A and B are shown apart, each in its own frame.
Chain A
Amino acid sequence: MAEVKIDKLHKSYGAVDVLIDINLTVDDGSFVVLVGPSGCGKSTLLRTVAGLEPISSGEINIDGRNVSELAPAKREIAMVFQSYALYPHMNVENNMAFGLRFAGTPKVEIAERVAEASRILQLDLLLKRRPRELSGGQRQRVAIGRAIVRKPKVFLFDEPLSNLDAALRVNTRIEFAKLHKLLKATILYVTHDQVEAMTLADKIVVMNAGRIEQIGKPMDLYHKPSNLFVARFIGSPAMNIMAATVVEKHRVDFGDGITLPVTLPEGITVGDKIRVGCRPEHCSLSAKGQPFKTLAGQIDIIERLGETGYAHLRLVNGQPIVVEVRGDPPAGDGRNVHVAFSPQHVHLFDNVGQRIA
């Protein structure tokens, strides 16, 4: 296994920049997830590491070796495609062994590696089947098997779960986590699903519009998003963001004269426009108003998920806001309530969206 180091990577299609100043280190044996909305460049970044897309400038190092100009096969990587891309005219065994045969691996060793991979992935009984005779989950496992037998330095996964149904996706996600432990592999994994990112990753890379917005451990991103984009993207439902104006030291105005005390860092002066964020799970509802700590609003609808629920409400200044409610909330459509924030969980961003506290 090996470390991947991406240095000042830049890629453009003609005048369009698709990857801008990407600097990223994937530590040896770590599971790094690239996450972001569609079109943010995460798949393109993965494909440049694989060597399927040329880069415009910068450097990609795998295990200390600059591979920027090398063909995919010479980079000692293995890629699992979203569509699996199994060779339809070969059975499972040949699908896995195909690349090794061309690499001139001795027959005995090929057989050993295929046997080992099929044992790990429980494909033993399917070796003679063609891809069209397999279910989606089985095809997925063959695609992973094809990657494992190559004993690559780095595994690249391009949205491997998005073609599976919901139940299978959860199972396979857990399988991935186990597999990573078992193989101690360096994995670079692309997904648009932030739940996958949170559950699988040692380190998450949030991308947007060709740039890396933030790199960090899942819980760091959750607790300390460095900007508004990450704050909105990580966590479900998304964080509530409210525009506010600083009216006096440690007090902000949300418009229409609703003010709340907030601990502001140095350098923020009266009159500054800021954004205040609070996750639904860190907000709570109270029936009685405590005018200095809460915001008044009206419930539009309550979504009940069983153990928890989400109250979608509208503050008196028109701002929509989502609040997590525990247990079995009473029916409350149209009810007037007050929203309280837990002060230590409030996120503050400046007017351009960078975190200030």
Chain B
Amino acid sequence: MRRSVSSPVVHGILVLYTMLALFPIILVIMNSFKAKRAIFNTPLQPPMPWNVDLIGYYKVFSDGALGTYYVNSIVVTTGTIFFTLLFGAMAAWALTEYKFRWNTLLAIFLSLGIMVPIRLGSVSIIQMIAELNLINTLTALILVYVAQNLPLAVFILSEFIEQIPKDLREAGRCDGLSEYNIFFFIILPLLRPAMATVAVFTMIPVWNDLWFPLLLAPTGGKQTITLGVQQFLGQYITDWNAVLAALSMAIIPVLVLYVIFSRQLIRGLTSGAVK
């Protein structure tokens, strides 16, 4: 067989791309350990004994509020993932397994959400949240993010559910399981790889979002970490040490979550179920 591109070339391209993608992150982490002067004078230089300065981290850790912001971000992200997966899987299961009157219409309605950017509705979302007295709460953020991520989750999970052999559900029915138990004890465990995919897709934008935290929970100790970092960015003075340190720290939780989910991604879906 003719090989049009040799593998060193392919690897070369991949390495180049990886470097390109990682460069800003490495720059942030590298400079977070340096003194302010070194950040500006030699931004590309790795931390050296003569320019190391942990003042940024010192400020981040001594600022009690930042810890709260971390927790806020983690609560919002995990809460969003949890509810998106739960409701997404339930909706996907209902839409694929049960034939009822508005089935197709409902599926179309849900998939519309993939196409319409939720930020277009920001004004009415603020009104709604204000009327619900949920301004400056994490609940507001979780509600909005779940709404934002649900359409894609339903779409992806439906595709996966279609692939689960019908016999398994019927075996469950013969075994005397209620429809809820079939969903929770047969379908959900088999959906794990799909749910990991959805979780990863959901997690990153939510963690990084600045828009809705700014609109819905800008004060009152309910800021997320992305918003919390802004306190170091002033109109005239920016505390770059603190900003870079906080951003470096902010990478860690997503990384941990990603590692957790990515282990599920590679698992086979239903190997061994049939035949």
For residue A186, give the distance in angstroms from its CB to the closest CB of chain B. Answer: 16
Question: Which chain A residues lie closer than 8 Å to B181 at the CB level?
Answer: 102
> Does residue A72 face the partner (Cβ distance < 8 Å to B)?
yes
The reply to whether B273 and A88 contact each other, CB–CB distance below 8 Å, is yes
Cα of A103 to Cα of B174 in the assembled complex, Å? 11
Pick the contact of B165: A51, A79, A83, A132 (CB < 8 A).
Answer: A83
Q: Do A83 and B167 contact each other (CB < 8 Å), given the known contacts A78-B174, A98-B175, A102-B175?
A: yes
Asked whether B176 lies within 8 Å of A88 as measured between CB atoms, the reply is: no
Complex Cα distance, B181 from A86, in Å, reads 16
Give 1 or 0 for each of A58-98: 1 = CB within 8 Å of chain B CB. 00000000000001110001110111111111000000001
Contact of A132 among B168, B189, B272 (CB under 8 A): B272
Query: Within 8 Å of chain B (Cβ to Cβ): is A137?
Result: no
Q: Is A183 an interface residue (CB 8 A)?
A: no
List A contacts of B189 (CB < 8 A).
89
Task: Please give, as numbers and ranges, the residues of chain A lying within 8 Å of B177 by CB-CB distance.
Answer: 73, 99, 102
Cross-chain contact of B174 among A72, A82, A83 (Cβ < 8 A) = A72
Q: How large is the interface on A (under 10, 10 to 19, 20 to 34, 35 or more residues)?
A: 20 to 34
Q: Please tell me which one of the listed residues B167, B176, B270 contacts residue A103 in the complex, with CB atoms under 8 A apart.
A: B176
**Interchain nearest-CB distance for B266 vs A (Å):** 15
Check B170–A81 contact: CB distance below 8 A: yes
* B251 part of interface (Cβ distance < 8 Å): no
Q: How far is it, in angstroms, between the C-alpha of A51 and the C-alpha of B174 when the chains are bound?
A: 8
Chain A residues lying within 8 Å of B275, measured Cβ to Cβ, are: 83-84, 136, 163
Q: B175 to chain A: which residues have CB within 8 Å?
A: 73, 98-99, 102, 146, 150
Which residues in chain B, 176-213, are within 8 Å of chain A measured between CB atoms? Answer: 176-177, 181, 185-186, 189-190
Q: Are B271 and A81 in contact (CB under 8 A)?
A: no
- Answer yes or no: B119 CB below 8 A from chain A CBs: no
Which chain A residue has the least Cβ–Cβ distance from B167? A85
Is there contact, CB below 8 Å, between A132 and B274?
no
- Check B173–A52 contact: CB distance below 8 A: yes
Instruction: Please tell me if B71 contacts chain A, counting CB pairs below 8 Å.
Output: no
Known A98-B175, A99-B175; contact A86-B272, beta-carbon cutoff 8 A = yes
Chain A stretch 169-227: residues in CB contact (< 8 A) with chain B:
none
Measured between C-beta atoms, what is the minimum distance from B180 to chain A in Å?
11
Indicate if the CB atoms of A88 and B174 lie closer than 8 Å.
no
What are the residues of chain B within 8 A of A78 when measuring CB–CB? 174
Return the chain B residue nearest A77 by Cβ: B174
Which residues on B sit within 8 Å (CB–CB) of A84? 167, 273-275
- Given the complex, which residues of A lie within 8 Å of B171, measured CB to CB? 79, 81, 85-87, 146
Report the separation of the CA atoms of residues A50 and B186 in the bound assembly, to the nearest whole angstrom: 20
B153 to chain A, nearest CB (A): 21
Out of B167, B185, B272, name the residue touching A134 (CB < 8 Å): B272
Q: How far is the CB of A152 from chain B (nearest CB, A)?
A: 9
Q: Tell me which of A82, A99, A132, A163 contacts B271 (CB under 8 A).
A: A132
Query: Contacts A79-B171, A81-B170 given: A87-B271 contact, CB under 8 Å?
Result: no
The closest CB in chain A to the CB of B176 belongs to A73
Q: Mark A221-263, 1 if CB is under 8 A from B, else 0.
A: 0000000000000000000000000000000000000000000
Size class of B's contact patch?
A: 20 to 34
Complex contact B170–A52 (CB within 8 A): yes
CB-CB < 8 A to B168: which residues of A?
A: 85, 87-88
Cβ contact within 8 Å between B176 and A86: no
CA distance A86 to B170 in the complex (A): 11
Chain B residues closer than 8 Å to A99, beta-carbon distance: 174-177
Q: How far is the CB of B148 from chain A (nearest CB, A)?
A: 30
Bound together, the chains give a CA A134 to CA B167 distance in angstroms of 19
Is A133 an interface residue, CB under 8 A from the partner? yes
Among B170, B174, B176, B190, contact of A89 (Cβ-Cβ < 8 Å): B190
Report the Cα distance A85→B272, complex, angstroms. 9
Query: Closest CB-CB distance, B172 to chain A, in whole Å?
Result: 8
Residues A88 and B272 in contact, CB atoms below 8 Å apart? yes
Is A131 at the interface (CB under 8 A from chain B)?
Answer: yes
Cα A322 to Cα B47 with chains together (Å) = 91
Give the CA-CA distance A59 to B274 in the complex, in Å.
32
User: In the complex the two chains form, what is the Cα distance from A103 to B181 in whole Å?
Assistant: 12
- Whether B186 contacts A87 by the Cβ 8 Å rule is yes
Could you say which residues of chain B place their CB within 8 Å of the CB of A73?
A: 173-177
C-alpha spacing A10/B273, complex, angstroms: 33
In the assembled complex, the Cα of A85 lies from the Cα of B177 at a distance in Å of: 15
Residue A355, interface by CB 8 Å: no
Cα(A233)–Cα(B212), bound, Å: 70
- Contacting pair B272 A130 (CB below 8 A): yes
| Smallest CB separation, B236 vs chain A (Å) | 58
Closest partner residue, chain A, to B173 (CB atom): A72
CA distance A77 to B170 in the complex (A): 13
What's the nearest-Cβ distance from chain A to residue B52, in Å? 50
Q: Chain B contacts of A131 at CB under 8 A?
A: 272-273
Residue of A83, A130, A139 contacting most chain B CB atoms (<10 Å): A83
Is the pair B165, A85 in contact by a Cβ cutoff of 8 Å? Answer: yes
**Shortest distance from the beta carbon of A43 to any chain B beta carbon, whole Å:** 12
Q: In the complex, what residues of A have CB within 8 A of residue B176's CB?
A: 72-73, 99, 102-103
Q: A136 vs B185: C-alpha distance in the bound complex, in angstroms?
A: 24
Minimum distance in angstroms from B191 CB to a CB of chain A: 10
The answer to whether B173 and A88 touch across the interface, beta carbons within 8 angstroms, is no
Q: B residues 224-275 with Cβ under 8 Å of A?
A: 268, 270-275
Residues in chain A within 8 A of chain B (CB atoms): 50-52, 71-73, 77-79, 81-89, 98-99, 102-103, 130-134, 136, 139, 146, 150, 163
17 A-B pairs with C-beta separation under 8 A = A52-B170, A52-B174, A71-B173, A79-B170, A79-B174, A82-B167, A84-B167, A84-B273, A85-B168, A85-B171, A86-B273, A87-B168, A88-B271, A89-B189, A98-B175, A98-B185, A132-B272
9 closest A-B pairs (Cβ-Cβ)?
A132-B272, A99-B175, A73-B176, A85-B167, A83-B274, A131-B272, A88-B273, A85-B171, A89-B189
